[in-house]
Amino acid sequence: MLRIDRKLGVMKGVSAVLGRLGGAHVRTPVFAAAALVLALASTSKAGLIITIVETTAGNSAVFSGAFGDYTVSVNTAVSNSPGVNGLATLNVSSSEIAGTLLPGSSGILTINVQATGFTVPAASTPTFFMQSIGSNSSSSSAVMTFQSFLNSSSSPLQGPLLQGESNTNISSILGPLSPFPFTISDTTSIFVAPGLEGASSGSTEVASTQRFVFTPAPSSFVMLLGCVAVVGLGARGLRRRLALVDVN
């Protein structure tokens, strides 16, 4: 079992948090039809699980503000739906500052992103190749997982990834896809030690050929995530914000 107790240097039971990140991860929820949905889940001050959902008819969505255990949470999602030049993409980035851990909270922030309406690659494609990239770019101790989905097909769960680590997975899914147009989604779960800063990025790309190339680094696989240049995007095109409380 991976242990990072010394690296985090905070909280007893960090291994239990890692167990939750590496096992009982949160599947990207299914929302009403929309071009792009960005949803966050964490713990409220009342000890309940809370969810904030950003829905847009465009291809970018942003949430910025305090949320759950986190005093600052900036999350951006970008897709290229319906796809272009044989490639469908969905990118997500986050920057977090953890506050004091709320009573009964695991300290885990979950970021779910879903984009619909993809028609590239074409429905008749014999095999769809899905590349899933998760990267922990935190400047301090943090741990994360990442997982991609193409309709109901999922990539293997990536992580736990420690500070400075990245991971790439390439999965093949036999066509034709159903339903079509298809949906891409991904889930990031991150734990940042109280009072510290964390950052993560993830990319899900779907193509009709195995066009993806990654570069190995000494300690991990580090991707050139130029396509995830989403910092500074405004919330233009954001249609609505919905706050839900789940008393599970």
Domains of the chain, by residue range, sit at 5-246
pLDDT of residue 157: 96
* Separation of alpha carbons 101 and 98, rounded Å: 8
Token pair belonging to 125: 């494609």
* Separation of alpha carbons 221 and 162, rounded Å: 12
Asked if the model's pLDDT at residue 156 lies above 70, the reply is yes
Given CA atoms 57, 66, 185, 84 in this order, what sign does their dihedral have? positive
pLDDT of residue 183: 96
pLDDT of residue 46: 62
**CB–CB of 230/93 below 8 Å?**
yes
| Whole-structure pTM value | 0.75
Give whole-number Cα distances, 159 to 23, 130, 167, 189, 242, in Å. Answer: 10, 18, 8, 10, 30
Proportion of the chain above pLDDT 90, given as a percent: 54
Residue closest to 193 by CA, chosen among 145, 146, 143, 159: 143
CA 173: distance to chain centroid? 20
Asked if the model's pLDDT at residue 137 lies above 90, the reply is yes
The pLDDT tens digits for 222-241 are 333 333 333 233 333 333 33
pLDDT of residue 182: 96
Query: How much is the average pLDDT of 91-105?
Result: 89
Residue 38: helix, strand or coil by DSSP?
A: strand
The pLDDT tens digits for 20-56 are 444 433 444 444 445 899 999 987 666 667 788 888 8
pLDDT of residue 106: 84
Query: How much is the average pLDDT of 87-112?
Result: 90
List the single range of 73-87, 102-116, 230-244 with lowest mean pLDDT. Answer: 230-244
- 247: buried, middle or exposed (CB in 10 Å: 19+, 13-18, 0-12)? exposed
Residue closest to 225 by CA, chosen among 95, 45, 91: 91
Cis peptide before 156 (omega within 30 of 0): no
* Separation of alpha carbons 204 and 74, rounded Å: 20
Residue closest to 127 by CA, chosen among 174, 88, 170, 86: 174
